[in-house]
Amino acid sequence: MHKSIVRQTAPSTGDDRPIPAEVHPLLWRIYRARGLRDPAELARELPALIPPDHMAGLGQAVEVLAHALEARRRILIVGDFDADGATSCALGVLALRAFGHQAVDFLVPNRFEFGYGLTPEIVEHARAYRPDLIVTVDNGISSVAGVAAARALGWQVVVTDHHLAGRVLPDADALVNPNLAGNPFPSKALAGVGVIFYVLLGLRSRLRLSGWFERNGIAMPNMGDLLDLVALGTVADVVALDHNNRVLVHQGLMRIRSGRCRPGISALLRVAGRNPARAQAADMGFAVGPRLNAAGRLDDMAIGIRCLLADDPDEALALATELDRLNRERRSIEDEMKQQAEAMLANWTPQDDAELPWGLCLYQADWHQGVIGILAARIKERYHRPVIAFASAGDGLLKGSARSIPGLHIRDVLDEVAVREPDLLHKFGGHSMAAGMTIPEQGLAAFARTFDAVVRLHLEPDALRAVIHSDGGIEVNQLTLETARAIIDGGPWGQGFPEPTFDDRFEVLSSRVVGEKHWKLVLRPPATDLVLDAIAFNSVETTPVMPREIRAAYRLDENEWQGRLSLQLRIEYLEGVET
C-alpha cells in the first residue's frame, strides 16, 4: 500500500504571541501544529487537572462507596480483560486498602467463558465472593441485564466506565462516565483507569472531610502514588492525550522514572528490555501494555492484576516473566494468523467487484479469539481500511474485533448496521477506533455486505489512502541528541497528540537487515558531512531492496548501547528518490 507524506502546519489564527522562554522553538512549532495556543496548555503539574466535582454522577458514587466503607461491606471490583481494565482493578483495590478497607476483591471475566462486562453469568459467578457492592471499572455502561441481576440479589452497583452508552442505561446506584449525554466533564478522553481514579480521588476528599482517616488512625494516602497505573492504562488503551490526560500520564511517568512505581510495572519494563529510569509513553503502549494484555488474550487477566498488586519485587518479577512468556506465545499465534489473512487477501475473488471491500471482514474457523483484535489492527495498517476479524465463539456464534481508520467512527457504523439488519448483531460496543461484537455464524456473509455498504456511505475514496502527517523538515544543526531529548521531555506523546514526525531526503551510506524484519541504516543529509544512524522497523517486507537515496518520514530517538546514549532516527516510512 502506497502512502503519502503530508506536511502539517499550524492553523492560522492571527495569534502571534511570542514563544515562551522555557520552550524550545522547534517544540513550539510542533505544539502549534497540534492546536495549542496558550502556554497554560503545556502545564503538566497536578493542579492543572480538571477537578473531580466537574464529573456528573461522581458525588453519588462517592456516597455509596463511603457508606460501604463505614459499614465494612464487602466490595467486589469487576474489570475488563485488557490493560485498562487491569490497571483499573489494581488501582481500585490498592486505593480502597490504603483507605483502610480490607474487604475488597476483584473479578475479571474470562473472555472465553463469559465474554465482556458485567453479564448475568458473571453476577452468578460473583456469588462466591458474597459482595454487598459491585464496582465496575472500564465496563458496565452497557450491562443492563447484569446490573439488574446484581440488584435483584440485593447488591448495590456502582458503574464506572468510559465507553459510549447504548439507548438504555443500566439501573445502577451510581453511573460515572464522562461520555454520558449531559455530563459536563470537559475531558471525554479519560480511560477507564482515569474514571476510577477520579472517583477515588473524590472518595478520599469525602473521607477526609468526615474525619475517617483520623478516627481510624490512617495517614491520608497520596493519590499521586497511583498515577503510574493511570499512566499505563491511559496509554495502553490508546485514548486521546488531551491536556488532562497528558497531565495524568506525565505525572505517572515521572514516578516511574524516579523509581516510585509499582514493582510490577518496573518488572514488566525490565523483562521487555526497557530502562524504567528512561520510561516514555511509548514504552507503556508498546512494551508494558502488550504483556499485560497477553494474559487476558491467552489465559487469565488475574495474572496481570496480581503482577500490578505485588509488593514484593521477586513476586512481581516472576509474574512479569510469565506475562512475557504469554506475550511471546501471543506473537507466534498472531504471526500465523496474519500469514493466513494475507493469503486470503492475496487470493481475494469477490463475486461482485474487482476490488477489496472498503469495510473488510475476515474469518477463519481456527483463529484465536484473544488475538483477533491485534490481527484486525495489523491488516488495517497494511490495507488502510476498517477491518473486522472474526473467530468462532461456539454455539453457532462468531466474536468479532474491529479496528477503524481516521474519519470513520466504527461504533456508529455498527449502530447503523444494527438498525439495517437487527438480527445480525447480537451485541456490540466500543469506541470510535475499536469495537467488539457477536454475530451468528450463518449471518457472516450478510453482515460483511452490510458493513461494507455502510462504510462506503461514510468514507470518500481518498480516505483509503494512508497519509503520514509530517511536521516538515528539520535543520541539519537540529539533528542532535539534545533536540531528541527536548522532544522526549516535551511529551507525553500519543493518540491525539502525536509524537513529532519529520521528513527529509537522505543518502543511504550503508544498509543491513537486522532481526530478519528491520533495516539498520547509516544516512547522510545531501550536501553535508553529517552521518546519522537510523532504523526502520518491520520494513524489509515492504522495501526488500534499499534504494541509494530515500525520502523518509522519521522521528528523533535516543539509542542506548553499552551505557552510551546517541541519536538515532526511527524511520516510520521511506520511499526511493529518483536521481
The CATH number of residue 519's host domain is: 2.40.50.460
389 part of a folded domain: yes
335 part of a folded domain: no
Chunked into runs of 10 residues, the chain (579 residues) has average pLDDT values of: 71 58 85 87 93 96 98 96 94 98 91 76 94 96 95 98 90 97 94 98 97 95 97 94 97 97 97 94 95 88 95 97 95 94 82 76 94 94 94 93 92 92 84 88 94 94 89 93 94 93 96 93 95 94 92 93 89 87
289: nearest Cα among 250, 347, 342, 236: 236
My answer on whether 93 and 199 are in the same domain is yes
340 part of a folded domain: no
The CATH number of residue 122's host domain is: 3.90.1640.30
My answer on whether 499 and 447 are in the same domain is no
My answer on whether 28 and 124 are in the same domain is no
CB 305 within 8 A of CB 312: no
Q: Which residue is associated with the grid cell 496548555?
A: 41
**Which residue among 445, 464, 483 closes a domain?**
464
CB 179 within 8 A of CB 164: yes
| Residues in contact with 28: Cβ distance below 8 Å, sequence separation at least 6, in sequence order | 19, 20
My answer on whether 234 and 162 are in the same domain is yes
Q: What is the pLDDT of residue 352?
A: 47
Residue 294 to residue 290: CA distance in whole angstroms: 6
CA distances to 248, 356, 360, 390, 421 from 350, in Å: 47, 7, 12, 18, 22
State how many domains the chain has. 3
233: nearest Cα among 175, 275, 192: 192
330 part of a folded domain: no
My answer on whether 51 and 197 are in the same domain is yes
193 part of a folded domain: yes
271 part of a folded domain: yes
Secondary structure, 3-state, 364-407: CCCCCHHHHHHHHHHHHHHHCCCEEEEEEEECCEEEEEEECCCC
R_g of the chain, CA atoms, integer Å: 24
The CATH number of residue 458's host domain is: 3.10.310.30
**Which residue among 418, 441, 464 closes a domain?**
464
My answer on whether 479 and 569 are in the same domain is yes
Phi, psi of 460, rounded to the nearest 5 degrees: -90, 155
My answer on whether 103 and 144 are in the same domain is yes
My answer on whether 247 and 372 are in the same domain is no
Neighbour count for residue 45 (Cβ, 10 Å): 9
My answer on whether 95 and 233 are in the same domain is yes
**Which residue among 439, 464, 489 closes a domain?**
464
My answer on whether 216 and 156 are in the same domain is yes
My answer on whether 283 and 378 are in the same domain is no
The residue type at 10: A
- Computed from CA positions of residues 54, 55, 60, 62, in that sequence, does the dihedral angle turn out positive or negative? negative
My answer on whether 129 and 268 are in the same domain is yes
- Computed from CA positions of residues 13, 15, 19, 20, in that sequence, does the dihedral angle turn out positive or negative? negative
445 part of a folded domain: yes
Question: Which residue range forms the structural domain that includes residue 378?
Answer: 348-464
pTM of the model: 0.90
Phi, psi of 479, rounded to the nearest 5 degrees: -85, 75
Q: What is the pLDDT of residue 15?
A: 56
Residue 285 to residue 236: CA distance in whole angstroms: 5
331 part of a folded domain: no
Residue 202 to residue 208: CA distance in whole angstroms: 10
Q: What is the pLDDT of residue 37?
A: 81
